[in-house]
Amino acid sequence: MNFCPANKYFLIIIMCLTLVGHRSIAQTTPLELSQISEFAELSEEYVNKQPDSAIYFASRVIENGARVPDSILIRAHKSLAKANYVLSNTIKSYEHSTKVIELADRLNDEQAKLFGQVHLGLTYLLQDKIRKSIEVFEEYLELALEMNDSISVSRAYLDLSICYDDSKSYDTALYYANKGIANSRSIGETYYLAMIYNRKGYIFSGKESADSAIFYHQKAVETMASDNQWEKAFAYAGLAKAYALKEDFEESVAYGEKGLSLAKSINSKWEIKNVSEILTNAYTKKGDYKKALEYHVLFKAYHDSIYTEENEQKINALQLKEAQFEKEALIQENQLKDQILKQRESLILLLVLFALVLTAFVIGLFVSIKKRKKYQNRIAKQRDELDELNHSKDRIISILAHDMRSPIGSILNLLGLVKSNPEMEKQAMEILVSEVYESTATVSNTLDQLLDWSISQFQRRKTNPQVVNPVLQVEEQLTFWKKTLNEKEIGIIHHKEHAADLWAEVQHVSIILRNFLSNAIKFSEQGGKIEIGYLQNKGMVGLYVKDHGVGMEEETLQNLFQSKKMTKPGTNKEKGTGIGLFLCNEYAEMNGGTIKALSKLNEGSMFELWLPKAE
């Protein structure tokens, strides 16, 4: 729909006011029918240039509910699916993509259905579900060929090349990229042609063919529309990566800076993370470590932001699974009630009409009662499982409330000091930044452990035991802690004479060892020593880690494996949350083992892990 420039500028002014804090006022006012169409058009106009603005305008359309015709509603959902994909909001993009497909079926709009399918495939791709994504794009290609839609065929070839590039199947990725280029050229199409050139450049970077990568990224820049900021940022990032491969770090930095600027202008988190990592490596190779650190901090911030969103998605998936479980239990209960009613009706009919077959009736009744009891037992079992899931959920919430409050509060206090003292001396600022980093690392490590444990609780995940060489596991962990050990000048004594293979899940053994060594290092004095050794007793193998540090009081030792409070700081003020040993104890029990702890105040501590011996 066309509308006058004055209206357009008026709508843009509304958008700007909304973004600075007046959204709640604007959203309470219903739109006129003419405005609904104009907002839908604005969402389509801004989807590549300013995806946040596109989300605003499209959301305003959807807020008007039943007043919006399906033909306009589907346009708003298309804008939201694409804009959220650009901003890496996979859950939102998935929701709006499925809504587009639903509306397209209702309107018999095959073009819209193609759009919904392609963004559905892209959301799977963002979640690293490559196989699922390939299946969706192959169906999309088949539908595009049936419709004789040449542009959508080019898009299908592009997306398949992305999937195979991400899975490092470069030859297959090049095959689909070349088909996409040939198809786009044959119809004179440039939008997807530019995107395929970009993808081909990334494929050649993966194959470490820098000159070919540069050639295709430059072709992409020459081909694409001037206002396609998202694809241009992608191209500049690719050029930065390719020039870094050639060790031409001046050019790499120049293109990386341009790509980062464009990525920030559209708030594309994945692109900002991608370019920041490239710039970190380029400045490091140039020897400009100050700049390298600056971009590493930016990379880490966006990496953690995306990682946090992914964790939220995992939690949402767990909650969805729990809701589905409850729904299935309710359906089975209703089915059981229907079956009982039908059996009662059959009983009355049999009593009236088939008195002569009483024996057969008694047998049938016996079978019926037995079946009903079986169903009742199944329902009771499912209810018990639901109660256990709710108990596990409450434990997770309790742990988060106790163990995350203190480190997060510490981070807020440190950031408050920085905010209230903007002219703080550099040395003091470096100390505060270091403390913020340590507190953030503690929170991140705790979340990793909690998520892994909660998933095992909700999914009833069983252990996957195998033969584990404890000596190799210890040496691997010592390599991991080498820097920390050197900083505290701690000596390691590794007694290998009584070592024997274990029968356990290797990941659980690794986590327990890491926690043992972390605590031993944490509570050892500067220049201390740590002893590691092995014991055997009645088919069990013991692995112990002994330090000669500060030790523990008896009360602390008794409550050691309960996550109730923060642990005390280490000898160098190292922080912890207390969740580590709590999880280690659960992992040991899951593998048929136990953990023992011995300690004396000011003399040191020894932790023992006992697991079944491998036969």
DSSP bridge partners of 611: 541
Residue 400 has pLDDT above 70, yes or no: no
Q: How far is CA 179 from the centre of its chain?
A: 33
Residue 6 has pLDDT above 50, yes or no: no
Contact present, 198 and 235 (Cβ < 8 Å): yes
pLDDT category at 43 given cuts 50, 70, 90 is confident
Say what percent of the chain tops pLDDT 90: 21
Residue 19 has pLDDT above 90, yes or no: no
Return the pLDDT at 23. 42
**191-208: pLDDT as tens digits:** 889 899 989 999 999 999
Q: How far is CA 479 from the centre of its chain?
A: 28
460 or 7, which is more confident: 460
Report the distance separating Cα 474 and Cα 566, nearest Å. Answer: 27
Return the pLDDT at 65. 80
pLDDT category at 28 given cuts 50, 70, 90 is very low
Which H/E stretch holds residue 328?
Answer: helix 289-353
**62-80: pLDDT as tens digits:** 888 888 888 889 989 989 9
Longest dimension (CA), the chain: 102
Average confidence (pLDDT) over 341-346? 81
Task: Record the tokens describing residue 328, joined without a space.
Answer: 């299935």
Helices (H), ranges, 489-527: 506-522
Q: Given the structure tokens 């020897």, which residue do they identify?
A: 287
Return the pLDDT at 459. 54
pLDDT category at 418 given cuts 50, 70, 90 is confident
Return the pLDDT at 18. 46
Lowest mean pLDDT among 42-46, 397-401, 494-498, 509-513: 397-401
Return the pLDDT at 540. 95
Report the distance separating Cα 455 and Cα 586, nearest Å. Answer: 13
Residue type at position 609: L
Residue 239 has pLDDT above 80, yes or no: yes
Return the pLDDT at 337. 78
Return the pLDDT at 232. 86
Contact present, 245 and 210 (Cβ < 8 Å): yes
Residue 596 has pLDDT above 60, yes or no: yes
**383-399: pLDDT as tens digits:** 876 776 676 566 666 55
CA atoms in the 13 A half-sphere facing the CB of 301: 11
Task: Record the tokens describing residue 559, joined without a space.
Answer: 């409550």
Return the pLDDT at 183. 93
pLDDT category at 349 given cuts 50, 70, 90 is confident
Contact present, 125 and 94 (Cβ < 8 Å): no
Residue 546 has pLDDT above 90, yes or no: yes
Return the pLDDT at 428. 75
Contact present, 302 and 275 (Cβ < 8 Å): no
0.95 exceeded by the pTM? no
DSSP 499-566: ---EEE-HHHHHHHHHHHHHHHHHTSPTT-EEEEEEEEETTEEEEEEEE-SS---HHHHHTTTS--SP
271 or 410, which is more confident: 271
Cα three-residue angle 411-413-414, rounded to 5 degrees? 65
What are the backbone angles phi and psi of residue 89, rounded to the nearest 5°? -90, 85
What are the backbone angles phi and psi of residue 425, rounded to the nearest 5°? -60, 150
Return the pLDDT at 16. 47
Task: Record the tokens describing residue 548, joined without a space.
Answer: 């000669």
613 or 401, which is more confident: 613
Q: Given the structure tokens 């298309």, which residue do they identify?
A: 78
Report the distance separating Cα 84 and Cα 70, nearest Å. Answer: 21
Helices (H), ranges, 108-228: 110-126, 130-147, 150-166, 170-187, 191-206, 210-223
